[in-house]
Amino acid sequence: MISRICKSAIKFNNTRYFTTNVSTLLNKVEKDSSVENLDKVLQQVKDNDVKDISIYNSLMQKYSKLNLDAQCSDVFITASTNKIQDQFSKESLDSFEKVLSNHLLEDFDRKSNLDYIQKDYEQYKAALTRKP
């Protein structure tokens, strides 16, 4: 029995067959882990609107090994656009969570220095409501 898993893959007798160039993209990712090659593969994934999660998992793991946070986010955003982000593997989600925690903590640290603006505004607002 043939069943369609997603746009880019079908399943026949419990064997997965790729209907687009996902297998060639996976081979490119596995053979050459250079940043330029990974970027080219990611661009091809975006251009072809690939909806097979295996290529996204591979890209996420390769980018996280190279500590490329922006590209990890780009992979996740592309998967979210295709509405398949809930199919990521645990390793991919952990690496994306690490990226988020690194950058969110930096943002909170920067915003904590701006606390005086909120206090000044509250004092100004209180001064406007006081009657002479």
Whole-structure pTM over 0.85, yes or no? no
pLDDT at position 51 is: 83
Q: DSSP secondary structure string, 79-130?
A: HHHTT-GGG--HHHHHHHHHHHHHHHHHHHHHHHTTHHHHHHHHHHHHHHH-
The residues near 10 (Cβ < 8 Å, ≥ 6 apart) are: 2, 3, 4, 16, 17, 19
Residue written as token pair 């955003």: 77
21-71 pLDDT, tens digit each: 788 888 888 888 899 999 999 998 888 888 888 888 899 889 888 888 888
Q: CA 90, 92, 98, 100 torsion: positive or negative?
A: negative
SS3 assignment, position 2: strand
Residue-level pLDDT at 88: 80
Q: Are 38 and 27 in contact (CB under 8 A)?
A: no
Q: Per DSSP, what are the bridge partners of residue 9?
A: 6, 18
CA distances from 48 to 22, 43, 44, 76, 106 (A): 10, 9, 6, 16, 35
Kindly tell me if the per-residue pLDDT of 90 is higher than 80: yes
pLDDT of the residue at 113: 63
Per-residue pLDDT reduced to its tens digit, 62-87 = 988 888 888 888 888 888 888 887 88
